[in-house]
Amino acid sequence: MSLTAATEQPFGKIARQANKLMDQLQKGYYNFYPGEAWTPNVNLYETETAYLVCVDLSGVDKSKIDIEVRNAGLTIRGARSVPLHESASDAEAGREGDSSRKIRVHLMEIDHGAFAREVELPQGVPQDRITAAYRNGLLWIEIPKN
Protein backbone atom coordinates (compact mmCIF):
# COMPACT_ATOMS: atom_id res chain seq x y z
CA MET A 1 0.00 0.00 0.00
CA SER A 2 1.46 3.34 -0.96
CA LEU A 3 0.59 6.60 0.72
CA THR A 4 0.55 9.95 -1.02
CA ALA A 5 0.30 13.16 0.94
CA ALA A 6 -2.13 15.73 -0.33
CA THR A 7 -0.78 19.21 -0.79
CA GLU A 8 -1.75 21.49 2.05
CA GLN A 9 -1.81 25.19 2.69
CA PRO A 10 1.58 26.88 3.15
CA PHE A 11 2.56 26.85 6.81
CA GLY A 12 -0.53 24.74 7.65
CA LYS A 13 1.50 22.22 9.64
CA ILE A 14 3.35 24.96 11.53
CA ALA A 15 0.05 26.67 12.41
CA ARG A 16 -1.41 23.40 13.75
CA GLN A 17 1.70 22.75 15.84
CA ALA A 18 1.68 26.31 17.21
CA ASN A 19 -2.01 25.99 18.14
CA LYS A 20 -1.35 22.69 19.92
CA LEU A 21 1.55 24.24 21.84
CA MET A 22 -0.60 27.21 22.89
CA ASP A 23 -3.36 24.84 24.05
CA GLN A 24 -0.85 22.92 26.18
CA LEU A 25 0.55 26.11 27.70
CA GLN A 26 -2.93 27.36 28.58
CA LYS A 27 -3.72 24.10 30.40
CA GLY A 28 -0.78 24.61 32.71
CA TYR A 29 1.73 22.16 34.13
CA TYR A 30 -0.89 20.03 35.86
CA ASN A 31 -3.72 19.24 33.50
CA PHE A 32 -6.57 18.39 35.89
CA TYR A 33 -9.49 19.79 33.92
CA PRO A 34 -11.72 16.82 33.05
CA GLY A 35 -14.65 19.14 32.28
CA GLU A 36 -12.88 20.61 29.25
CA ALA A 37 -13.35 18.83 25.93
CA TRP A 38 -10.28 17.67 24.06
CA THR A 39 -9.95 16.89 20.38
CA PRO A 40 -8.54 13.53 19.24
CA ASN A 41 -6.13 13.43 16.31
CA VAL A 42 -7.51 12.33 12.94
CA ASN A 43 -5.99 10.99 9.73
CA LEU A 44 -8.01 11.21 6.51
CA TYR A 45 -7.36 8.83 3.62
CA GLU A 46 -8.94 8.26 0.23
CA THR A 47 -9.10 5.15 -1.94
CA GLU A 48 -10.79 4.70 -5.32
CA THR A 49 -14.00 3.58 -3.62
CA ALA A 50 -14.08 5.24 -0.19
CA TYR A 51 -12.88 7.90 2.22
CA LEU A 52 -11.30 6.58 5.41
CA VAL A 53 -11.25 8.44 8.71
CA CYS A 54 -8.86 7.16 11.38
CA VAL A 55 -9.35 8.62 14.88
CA ASP A 56 -6.78 8.11 17.66
CA LEU A 57 -8.86 7.08 20.68
CA SER A 58 -6.25 5.18 22.66
CA GLY A 59 -7.57 4.18 26.07
CA VAL A 60 -11.20 5.00 25.27
CA ASP A 61 -13.76 2.32 26.09
CA LYS A 62 -15.64 1.34 22.92
CA SER A 63 -18.96 1.74 24.71
CA LYS A 64 -18.15 5.42 25.39
CA ILE A 65 -17.86 6.37 21.71
CA ASP A 66 -20.80 7.97 19.90
CA ILE A 67 -20.78 8.52 16.13
CA GLU A 68 -23.41 10.74 14.53
CA VAL A 69 -23.90 11.45 10.83
CA ARG A 70 -25.91 14.58 10.20
CA ASN A 71 -26.28 16.62 7.01
CA ALA A 72 -22.76 16.99 5.62
CA GLY A 73 -20.93 16.20 8.85
CA LEU A 74 -19.66 13.32 10.92
CA THR A 75 -19.40 13.92 14.68
CA ILE A 76 -17.48 11.65 17.05
CA ARG A 77 -18.04 12.17 20.80
CA GLY A 78 -17.17 10.30 23.93
CA ALA A 79 -15.07 10.29 27.07
CA ARG A 80 -11.74 8.91 28.23
CA SER A 81 -11.00 8.23 31.89
CA VAL A 82 -7.77 9.26 33.52
CA PRO A 83 -5.36 6.37 32.91
CA LEU A 84 -4.39 4.73 36.20
CA HIS A 85 -1.86 2.03 36.94
CA GLU A 86 -3.49 -1.16 38.27
CA SER A 87 -2.10 -0.65 41.80
CA ALA A 88 -3.53 2.89 41.83
CA SER A 89 -6.91 1.55 40.69
CA ASP A 90 -6.88 -0.97 43.55
CA ALA A 91 -6.05 1.73 46.10
CA GLU A 92 -8.75 4.04 44.71
CA ALA A 93 -11.30 1.25 45.12
CA GLY A 94 -10.21 0.77 48.74
CA ARG A 95 -9.18 -2.84 48.17
CA GLU A 96 -5.88 -2.62 49.95
CA GLY A 97 -6.23 0.28 52.40
CA ASP A 98 -2.42 0.44 52.31
CA SER A 99 -1.19 4.05 52.14
CA SER A 100 1.92 2.88 50.25
CA ARG A 101 -0.35 2.26 47.24
CA LYS A 102 -1.23 5.93 46.86
CA ILE A 103 -0.09 7.53 43.66
CA ARG A 104 1.21 11.07 43.13
CA VAL A 105 0.92 12.70 39.70
CA HIS A 106 3.99 14.60 38.49
CA LEU A 107 2.98 15.15 34.88
CA MET A 108 -0.29 14.57 33.06
CA GLU A 109 -0.16 15.07 29.29
CA ILE A 110 -2.64 12.41 28.19
CA ASP A 111 -5.95 14.14 27.53
CA HIS A 112 -8.93 12.82 29.47
CA GLY A 113 -12.58 13.66 29.95
CA ALA A 114 -15.10 14.44 27.25
CA PHE A 115 -13.97 14.72 23.63
CA ALA A 116 -15.54 15.77 20.37
CA ARG A 117 -14.35 15.81 16.77
CA GLU A 118 -16.21 16.84 13.63
CA VAL A 119 -15.31 15.85 10.09
CA GLU A 120 -16.95 17.39 7.05
CA LEU A 121 -18.39 14.84 4.62
CA PRO A 122 -18.22 15.18 0.84
CA GLN A 123 -21.50 15.97 -0.92
CA GLY A 124 -23.74 13.05 -1.82
CA VAL A 125 -22.11 10.22 0.14
CA PRO A 126 -24.50 7.34 0.93
CA GLN A 127 -24.82 7.92 4.67
CA ASP A 128 -26.62 4.62 5.26
CA ARG A 129 -23.51 2.69 4.09
CA ILE A 130 -20.97 4.35 6.44
CA THR A 131 -19.27 1.75 8.65
CA ALA A 132 -17.04 1.96 11.71
CA ALA A 133 -14.63 -0.43 13.43
CA TYR A 134 -12.61 0.06 16.63
CA ARG A 135 -9.27 -1.77 16.70
CA ASN A 136 -6.21 -1.27 18.90
CA GLY A 137 -7.30 2.17 20.10
CA LEU A 138 -8.02 3.45 16.58
CA LEU A 139 -11.52 4.16 15.32
CA TRP A 140 -11.76 3.52 11.56
CA ILE A 141 -14.73 4.99 9.73
CA GLU A 142 -15.27 4.06 6.09
CA ILE A 143 -17.32 6.45 3.99
CA PRO A 144 -18.15 4.93 0.59
CA LYS A 145 -18.07 7.09 -2.50
CA ASN A 146 -21.13 7.18 -4.78
Quick one: average pLDDT of 34-53?
87
Domain regions of the chain by residue span: 12-144
Coil, strand or helix at 92:
helix
pTM: 0.68
- Kindly state the percentage of the chain with pLDDT values over 90: 43
Quick one: average pLDDT of 2-22?
66
At 108, the amino acid letter reads M
Cα first-last separation, the chain: 23
Quick one: average pLDDT of 105-112?
86
Please indicate whether residue 20 or residue 36 has the higher confidence score (pLDDT): 20
Burial 50-73, CB ≥16 within 10 A → b, else e: bbebebebeebeeeebeeeeeeee
Question: What was the pLDDT predicted at 18?
Answer: 76
Quick one: average pLDDT of 36-54?
92
> For the domain 12-144, what is the CATH code?
2.60.40.790
